[in-house]
Every structure is written in structure tokens, then in C-alpha cells.
Amino acid sequence: MRDTLLARFYAWARPYRGSYARGLGWLLATNVLILGIPWLVRDAVHKLQARAPRGAIAADALAIVAVALVQAVVRTQSRLEILGTSRRIAYDAREAFFGKLLTLDARFYDSQRTGDIMSRGINDLQLLQSFYGPGLMNALNTAIVYALTVVVMLRLDALLSLIALSTFPPLYLAVNRLSRRVYARSLAVQEQLAEISSRAQENLSGIQQVRIFGQEEREIAAFRALCDDFRRKSLALSRSRAAMISLIGVFAGLGTLLVLFVGGLHVIRGRITLGDFVAFNAYLGQLAWPTIALGWMVNVFQRAAGAMRRLDEIFLAEPAIPPPEPGEPAPPLPAGDIEIRDLTFAYDSSRERPALSGVTLRIPRGSRVALVGTVGSGKSTLAHLLARVYPAPAGTVFLGGADVTTLPVARVRAAVALVPQEALLFSRTLAENIALGRASASEADIENAARRAALTSEIRALPSGLATVVGERGYTLSGGQRQRATLARALLADAPVLILDDALSSVDADTERAILSALEADRRERTLILATHRLSTLTAVDRIVVLESGRVVEDGPHDALIARDGVYARLFRRQQLEERLTG
């Protein structure tokens, strides 16, 4: 697993190897310059002991200032190179993350929560940026500092160097053990943060329902419990991090104490000069911050590993329906009959029965077919399979004689326009929402589509007409207006197959009849499939297909089904009675 994670980390950094190489060069130059300062101090101490002229000592002081100034400029350049590269990698990762989300199909989103996906796209990607920026920069810097400084320390005094480094083997073992705990607790914190994000997103999306049912206090209490759990897990992570940093500080301090004791005795006995001892301690001091920062780096790396694992659950997810290829041109719209052959489909294999069982159906081009049935009968499932929202089994759904599973998804989507029951509008202008599937549409085309969806009078009443921003999910419009706006969107796409999945449930019966009449007048060989629960508007369709428990139980025109006195007739009479009682 560790090798896989390393490969994934390298994959993101690979395009920027040159930038990291330049950053490494600047870091190397920075530390070479830093090494010169203690050596200059050593020389100055020797001159002081030898009572050298002030000018010679002043020259060393000026050299120290000059080296420090150059080192500051070089260090800044190294930070710009490496931290700038981390931001470019974060940009690539965010772009790839969003692009990947657009390729995944409905089955993926059925099993994921929006808040959790948002947490991965914000918090986990930020952790990834910290790894490629400050994390890698400090890791590279630490490696260079140790490599260069230890060589100089060994040159000054090998025995003192071995004493100073004697605490590192036990320190490594302790840090390695603690790092596993940091990884597990870091992953728990990230997953808990995703829980909080999901809860917040659900409450904000359903705020009206929370208020209507007076559940504010309960939701606040539930959110507080999640935050308390997050606090406990964060404190546990902080304790592990603090233990690691404290442990590193103790071992580093112990090494320094041993060096001061042994080195002081060596100076007294004349084994080492005072200048060499001062320089040695200065070099040892240069190892202090990288040693202490080791705990911080381990935490950054472990949190990044947890973030990469969570992100890979998105990046490595394979859609059941292959997405359109980038830049794929709009192919000619397929035309012809729709044929369904012995279709059986289940959303989840663990369910007791499939959503559709053995459905066989032929819908001639240009016909008007209604799908009716009780809740859960399979109407929406069949509509979604025809539009390839969900993957149909091979050899079961055919469009124009071609198996939809063999057609590019872009071609199927261009041929089939689906209007779902839940009308979703974006926080953009009404014109932009209608033209979502045809961005090049003119204003006249948009107005014409809105007229055919019986939306003209509502547009006139809006403050800025088609230029009115409808707000998130179209909250400034009524339910019926939102449904008609999504219908206009589908009509503008001008697909040869139009599927209305209970898409007019929020408009009154008269408006629905007017819209269906307009669609009839505008037939132009367009096939219309209407999944609906409102049976009183179906007298003008060519056929009515009745579904029950995922199976086709009746098929025929309205009058013939009424005369048969079967399932459809009972549903029709029951609805007429309900309309009389409520009217």
C-alpha cells in the first residue's frame, strides 16, 4: 500500500520535476551559505584569541552579514520555486477532481453524500497542497542540512559528532511508532470533518423542512454532537503530534547536553580549540530546527497520505457508463424506433426484487406513449435507462436498431432528452438555464422553447425577463415554473426522443393539457414518452403502457384499456373519484 501511495504522490509531481530540481538547487545553495557563517565565527574566535587586528575581525563580521543577506535572497527563491509548484499541483488536482466528478454516473452519486465529496475537494486537496509545498520543502531542506552539516561536524570532531548523533536511532524508532498513530487519527479527523460537512450541507439544502417541522433544536444538538466528536478526535491527534514533537525536542536537547558536557571537557583539556567548539555548537544548533520540525513533517505526510487515500476513492472510481471523450464532436442524432427486449434491471443486487423484470416493448418513431403505474412500479427506472442515466444490460435497449451500450454516450444523450420530476435549476439567469444543453442558442430560440413550455407569461412577470437570476435550485420560481423551465431546456435541445418523467406534476391539469397539445402540434417525428400519475390527460396519446412491480401488465390505447377493465381502468376510475372529491 505504501508503494502505491508513493506512486500516486509521484504521479502528481512528475510534470514539475524540473521545478523541484531547481528548488532543490536553491535549497542546496542556501545551506552551503549557511554553513559558511559558523566557519566565519570560528575564524573570528581564533583571531580574538590571537589578538588579531580589529580590521581582520571586522572583515569576518562584514562577511557574515554579506553571507546572511545573500542567503536570505537565495532562500526566498527556493521557497518561491517549491511553494509555487505546490500551488500548480493543487490547481491540477482540483481541476482533475472536478473533471472526474463530471464523468461519474448516477450509481456513484447514489452512494455518496454531497458534503463528503465537498470535504474531499476542499480539505483533502488542501492537505495535499501542504504536502507538496511546506512538507516537501522542509523534508528536502532537512536532508540537505543533515548531509552537509554532519560532514562538517565530523571534520571538526568525529567523537563529538558521534555523541551528538547517538540519540537518533532510538528517536527514529519512537517516531516511526508514533507516526502510525498520527496517520490513523489524522484519517479519523478527516472523515469526521466530512461528516460535519455533509450534515451542514443537508441542513442548508433542507432548511425549509427543518423549520416547517420545528426541528431546529434537534438538528443543532445533532450538529453539536458531531462537532464534539470532531473536537475529541482532533485533540487525540494533537496529543499524538505533541508527544512526537516533545519526544524529538527531548532527544535533541539530550544530544546537545552531552555535547556541551563532553566538548567542554575537551576544550579544558586542549583536545579541541574554543573556536572549533563554538563552530561545532553552531552547526549543532542548525540541526535543532530540522530535528524538531521532523514531527511536523511526519504529521503533514501522514495527513497527506490519508487525504490521498480518500481522494483516490474518487479518482480511481470507474463509471458504469463510459463518459464522452474530451472534445468529442456532436454526432448526428440517431433516429428510429425504440426497442426493449426482455429488460431486467436492479439498482442493487442486495434488493429482494429488481426494479424491472422481463420488460419487452417497442415504441415506433414519432409515437406518443405513456408509462403509468403506482409508486415503485418502475416508470422512472425505465425512463432513466432509456436516457442512459443508469447502465442498461447489453442487448436489452435499442435506439434506431443499435444497442445503446455500443453507442457513444454523447450520441445517446443527443438523441434522448429527459425531463426529470425534480426540476433542478442553477443560480444563473433563466436564459442560461434553458440554454444549458445548447449554449449557442439565440434569444429567439430560447423564447420559442419557453413559449412551447407555456412559460411566456411568467417570463414577462419576472423583473428582468429571461435575464433574471433564478437563485440556487431556482428558488425564486414556483415548482410548476421550474418544471416548465426544465421542459423548455429539453425542447431547445431538439432531441428526436423526449421523455417526461412526471415532469408536469407541479402544474395544473389544464396547463398540462395545453403543453401536451403544443407538443402534439409540434410533433415533427419526435417520439414522446410520458411517465405520469395524472391519467386524465392521457386520452390523446397513442398507447398506454401499464407497469406493476416492474413488469408490463397492460399495453394499449386508452379506450381499449378502459374496456378491458383491468389495472389501468381501476387506476383511472380511482383518480376520477379523487378529483371529484377534492374538486
Mean pLDDT of the chain, nearest integer: 84
Q: What span, in angstroms and rounded, lies between the C-alpha atoms of 435 and 491?
A: 10
For the segment 281-288, the average pLDDT, to the nearest whole number, is 79
> How many residues are listed for the chain in this entry?
583
Question: What CATH number is attached to the domain comprising 369?
Answer: 3.40.50.300
344 occurs within a structural domain: yes
pLDDT at 304: 87
Instruction: Indicate whether 580 pLDDT > 90.
Output: no
User: Which of 256, 282, 315 is the C-terminal boundary of a domain?
Assistant: 315
Which residue, 389, 341, 338, is CA-closest to 527?
Answer: 338
Span 421-470, pLDDT tens digits: 888 888 888 888 888 888 788 889 888 888 888 888 888 888 888 888 88
* Position with higher pLDDT, 182 vs 464: 464
Residues 39 and 142 in one domain: yes
User: Which of 272, 300, 315 is the C-terminal boundary of a domain?
Assistant: 315
Q: What span, in angstroms and rounded, lies between the C-alpha atoms of 25 and 454?
A: 67
pLDDT at 213: 67
Percent of the chain with pLDDT over 90: 16
265 occurs within a structural domain: yes
* Position with higher pLDDT, 476 vs 25: 25
Residues 134 and 73 in one domain: yes
Query: 74: which 3 cell numbers?
Result: 537565495
62 occurs within a structural domain: yes
Phi/psi for 528 (5° steps) reads: -115, 125
Instruction: Indicate whether 205 pLDDT > 80.
Output: no
The number of folded domains in the chain is 2
363 occurs within a structural domain: yes
Residues 270 and 343 in one domain: no
332 occurs within a structural domain: no
* Position with higher pLDDT, 349 vs 71: 71
Query: 543: which 3 cell numbers?
Result: 398507447
| Region of poorest pLDDT, from 169-173, 198-202, 374-378, 417-421 | 169-173
Residues 77 and 41 in one domain: yes
398 occurs within a structural domain: yes
Pairing label, strands 368-372, 543-548: parallel
Which helix or strand (DSSP H or E) is residue 556 part of?
strand 551-556
Which helix or strand (DSSP H or E) is residue 530 part of?
strand 527-531
Q: What span, in angstroms and rounded, lies between the C-alpha atoms of 419 and 488?
A: 9
Residues 253 and 399 in one domain: no
Instruction: Indicate whether 333 pLDDT > 60.
Output: no
Maximum C-alpha span of the chain:
122
Strand partners, 457: none
Query: 460: which 3 cell numbers?
Result: 414577462
Detail the DSSP E strand segments found in 319-438. Answer: 338-345, 356-363, 368-372, 397-399, 402-403, 416-419
Query: 412: which 3 cell numbers?
Result: 445517446
* Position with higher pLDDT, 254 vs 85: 85
pLDDT at 349: 66
415 occurs within a structural domain: yes
For the segment 401-428, the average pLDDT, to the nearest whole number, is 85
Map grid coordinates 442553477 to a residue.
Answer: 426
pLDDT level of residue 21 (50, 70, 90 thresholds): very high
Which helix or strand (DSSP H or E) is residue 565 part of?
none
Residues 304 and 347 in one domain: no
For the segment 56-62, the average pLDDT, to the nearest whole number, is 83
Question: What CATH number is attached to the domain comprising 233?
Answer: 1.20.1560.10
Span 538-576, pLDDT tens digits: 777 889 999 998 999 999 998 898 899 888 888 888 887
Span 370-403, pLDDT tens digits: 899 888 888 989 999 998 888 889 999 998 888 8
pLDDT level of residue 2 (50, 70, 90 thresholds): low
Helices (H), 424-501: 430-434, 443-452, 456-461, 479-493
Residues 370 and 417 in one domain: yes
Residues 311 and 342 in one domain: no
For the segment 288-298, the average pLDDT, to the nearest whole number, is 73
pLDDT at 332: 55
Residues 101 and 241 in one domain: yes
| Region of poorest pLDDT, from 324-328, 429-433, 488-492 | 324-328
* Position with higher pLDDT, 87 vs 332: 87
pLDDT at 97: 92
Helices (H), 316-394: 379-386
pLDDT at 440: 83
* Position with higher pLDDT, 305 vs 167: 305
Span 506-538, pLDDT tens digits: 777 778 777 877 777 666 678 889 888 778 777
Q: Please give the residue range of the domain that contains residue 369.
A: 338-422+497-582
322 occurs within a structural domain: no
Burial track 212-238 (b if 16+ CB lie within 10 A, e otherwise)? eeeeeeebeeeeeebeeebeebbeebe
Residues 281 and 359 in one domain: no
User: Which of 282, 315, 348 is the C-terminal boundary of a domain?
Assistant: 315
Residues 272 and 415 in one domain: no
Residues 22 and 80 in one domain: yes
